[in-house]
Amino acid sequence: MEFCDKCGALMLPGKSGTTVLCPTCGKRAKSGDIILTEKLEKSKKLKKVGKEVRDTMPIGEMECPKCGNKEAYFWSEQTRGSDEPETQFYRCTKCSNTWRLYS
Ligand SMILES: [Zn+2]
Ligand SMILES: [Zn+2]
């Protein structure tokens, strides 16, 4: 399904099959172009949202022991006394599995 980017009406396939035509405003577009744009915009949006969430946490290369994904957020915390070494935490970007690594 393709929608007119001008007025939002459902585009109808043109005679040639490679174009679509808006019955409301008469806009013509190549079939496939609109879908492609939609996909691009969607992935852009996803990336943007993801960035906002992830801005506070750096992402590093670390294999998730649960799902095998190779990217994880990481941060370190002083869990016990201040004389103890910091504990490195990882959270999988894919399945949100969190694990720790003792230094
Ligand atoms: Zn239109
Ligand atoms: Zn994972």
Q: What is the pTM of this model?
A: 0.43
Is residue 83 among the annotated active site residues? yes
pLDDT for the residue 51: 46
Mean pLDDT of the chain: 80
pLDDT above 60: residue 52: no
Concerning whether 71 is annotated as a catalytic residue, the answer is no
Output the DSSP codes for 5-34: TTT-PBPEE-SSSSEEE-TTT--EEETTHH
Instruction: Give the ligand at the shortest distance from the Cα of 34.
Output: 1
DSSP 67-100: T--SEEEEEEE--S-TTSPPEEEEEETTT--EEE
Tell me the CA–centroid distance for residue 9 and ligand 1, in Å: 5
